[in-house]
A = this chain, B = another copy of it.
Amino acid sequence: MKVAIMGYGNLGRGIECAVRQNDDMELVAVFTRRDPETVKVLSGVPVYHADRLLEKKDEIDVLILCGGSATDLPKQTAEYAKYFNVIDSFDTHAKIPEHFANVDRAANEGGKIAMISVGWDPGMFSLNRLYANAILRDGSDYTFWGKGVSQGHSDAIRRIPGVKNAKQYTIPVESALEAVRNCENPELTTRQKHTRECFVVAEEGADKAWIENEIKTMPNYFADYDTTVHFITEEELQRDHAGIPHGGFVLRTGKTGMNGEHNHVIEYSLKLDSNPEFTACVLAAYARAAYRMNKEGMKGCKTVFDVAPAYLSPLTAEEMRSKLL
């Protein structure tokens, strides 16, 4: 199957790596809204301007959309779903119903599959919430994120005057996780679930105490959390905090028996050195599914909930049953 990438940032580069790990996939092109001459890709495939996408329509089985959820994907996914099987990682939870409706209309019109909100959350975490809820009907759900870098929170710090650079880690509170695992069904406040740790490079002469206070009292982002701020040098930031790790935990605890006498814990966790590269691997697997489902005549907008797991694997049904079941 022939895969193309739209948008070449961290996620696009991740897709380039992921495709190389899948023998049944070939990357045929990268599309960008920048000047293609300025975009250096890792794999050496051709880079075209986004305007030329429709020219290449017949050479592409699945188009993987690597733009952002704020402004790119709300337009792009519905637009391109008319012409291509597409995958996106749209992650603005509150706007998923609206995005689904727009994309579904376009994909049905084009006779294509459009897979939205693919990745790990939404994505693998969502799947685990669904499976666990379908199994343990009487129970409680918990999702913890981290330890990992939150791009949004890092950006928020960088917007403070006097801040030159910053990186923010979201960290789950270990004692809260343990209480959940012990089936204590805790009701957890925002503060009890996660802490936030910030590594900040201040501009020369900046008032660090003022910056620290600005961070810790920032509404929505930090005010509801126990936040730690460390001032470090740019060199230290580049040396010790260059990565984009992330991960987290999805748990459901529940009761069974005639009188709810038995407790059960279902836990799914991810520990990722590279958030975009892992997300890209999930997108690549769902690209395979989209291609196959469309070949079987299916069309419209789909989420991870609509995809039978077998479509994701390069193995035959017989191999899956003998090796994985």
Q: Which residues does A use to contact B, with CB under 8 Å?
A: 14, 17-18, 20-22, 42, 93, 96-97, 100, 117, 122, 124, 126-131, 133-138, 181, 256-258, 262-274, 277-278, 280-282, 285, 288, 303-310, 312-314, 317-318, 320-322, 324-325
Grouping DSSP codes into helix (H, G, I), strand (E, B) and loop, the A interface class, with mixed when no group exceeds half, is: helix
Closest B residue, CB atoms, query A270: B266
- Is the Cβ of A321 less than 8 Å from the Cβ of B18? no
A62 and B258 CA atoms in complex are apart in Å by: 22
* A-B contact list, 14 entries, CB within 8 Å: A96-B325, A97-B321, A130-B310, A131-B309, A134-B313, A134-B314, A135-B281, A256-B274, A264-B273, A264-B274, A267-B267, A267-B270, A306-B309, A306-B317
- Is the Cβ of B309 less than 8 Å from the Cβ of A135? no
**Residues of B close to A22: CB separation below 8 A:** 137
- Is the Cβ of B130 less than 8 Å from the Cβ of A324? yes
- Is the Cβ of A122 less than 8 Å from the Cβ of B264? no
- Is the Cβ of A117 less than 8 Å from the Cβ of B277? no
- Is the Cβ of B273 less than 8 Å from the Cβ of A263? yes
Say whether, besides A126-B325, A131-B124, A322-B96, A305 and B308 are in contact (CB < 8 Å).
yes
A127 and B22 CA atoms in complex are apart in Å by: 20
Say whether, besides A138-B21, A281-B137, A264 and B256 are in contact (CB < 8 Å).
no
Which 4 A-B residue pairs are closest in the complex by CB-CB distance? A262-B273, A134-B312, A21-B137, A256-B277
Closest B residue, CB atoms, query A310: B305
Closest B residue, CB atoms, query A321: B96
Select one of B42, B266, B282 contacting A258, CB under 8 A.
B42
**Residues of B close to A282: CB separation below 8 A:** 135
**Residues of B close to A304: CB separation below 8 A:** 309, 325
- Is the Cβ of B256 less than 8 Å from the Cβ of A278? yes
Closest B residue, CB atoms, query A305: B310
